[in-house]
Structure 1
Amino acid sequence: MNQKLNVELIITIPESQVIIEKLEFEALKKADLLGVYWSMVDLEKRIGRKKDWIKQNILYNPRFKSKLDCSTGGFVFYPKKKGEPWSMHALLMANFLDENFNDIFRS
């Protein structure tokens, strides 16, 4: 014979935090990146790597460049001359990094 125990549990949520549904949380994360463009410095902060590593392993990597370059329909502006800034659509780049994490970071 199975026994059942009915328990009432009270959990106190600190005033500095809230509980929201996962879908709402995902929407808020995306809204934070809508209409936002990253520079190379922003990308370095996001992934914790220096620009030389990012260029070699992501931006100029033949597997990714055609997907990324805005001149081929992507969402990254590749500078045409020295000193010109990089620019990338934050939301699309964040999604790309998430979707390609294993390909980017595998040794």
Structure 2
Amino acid sequence: MEQIIEYQAHITLPENFVLIQKDEYKALKGLGFKGNCVSVEDFRKKHTCLSRPMFNELILLNPKFKKMLDIKENPNGCVAYPKGGSSGKYYILESKLLTFIEENFPEIFTYVGKNEV
């Protein structure tokens, strides 16, 4: 025979707290990067464990991805490459590059074990 005990409790949250559903929290958290334009260094340090040369090799200058990322090649891209070659300043739309890395992670990191990260 199953026994059931019901218990009711009241919990008071501090005024600076709010209770929301997990899905809503994740959606709001994702908006935190939306529209942020950052430098390569800021993005790389904040979101990857890659050195600058590996970040360039695996993502920014990788021929498989460059046309997808470059806003001159793709209106839905997320990287403004330097005008005068690789020595200029890059501009990255943070949210879009994060999404790109998440969606292409296996392809980006297929040969990392062969190279130093």
Q: Describe the SS at the equivalent of 1:35.
A: coil
Tell me: CA distance 1:88–1:23, structure 2 relative to 1, closer, same or farther (3 Å): same
Q: Give, as a single letter, the amino acid of the residue that structure 1 aligns with 2:80.
A: F
Q: Give ranges in structure 1 of 5+ residues lacking alignment.
A: 9-15
**What is the CA distance between 1:101 and its match in structure 2?**
1.1
State the match for 2:105 in structure 1: 101
State the match for 1:28 in structure 2: 28
Residues in 1 aligned to 2:52 and 2:90: alpha-carbon distance in whole angstroms = 11
Q: Give ranges in structure 2 of 5+ residues lacking alignment.
A: 9-15
Residues in 2 aligned to 1:22 and 1:41: alpha-carbon distance in whole angstroms = 31
State the match for 2:69 in structure 1: 68
State the match for 1:38 in structure 2: 38
**What is the CA distance between 1:78 and its match in structure 2?**
0.9
Task: List structure 1 runs of 4+ shifted beyond 4 angstroms.
Answer: 1-8, 16-19
Q: TM-score, with normalisation over the residues of structure 1?
A: 0.76
Residues in 2 aligned to 1:69 and 1:49: alpha-carbon distance in whole angstroms = 20
Q: Give, as a single letter, the amino acid of the residue that structure 2 aligns with 1:89.
A: L
**Percent identity (aligned):** 32
Q: TM-score, with normalisation over the residues of structure 2?
A: 0.70
1:7-41 CA-partner distances (Å, limit 9, x unpaired): 99xxxxxxx98763222122222221122012111
Tell me: CA distance 1:33–1:7, structure 2 relative to 1, closer, same or farther (3 Å): same
Please tell me whether residue 59 in structure 1 is matched to residue 60 in structure 2: yes
Q: Describe the SS at the equivalent of 2:82.
A: coil
Residues in 2 aligned to 1:75 and 1:90: alpha-carbon distance in whole angstroms = 8
Q: Give, as a single letter, the amino acid of the residue that structure 2 aligns with 1:57.
A: L
Please tell me whether residue 78 in structure 1 is matched to residue 78 in structure 2: no
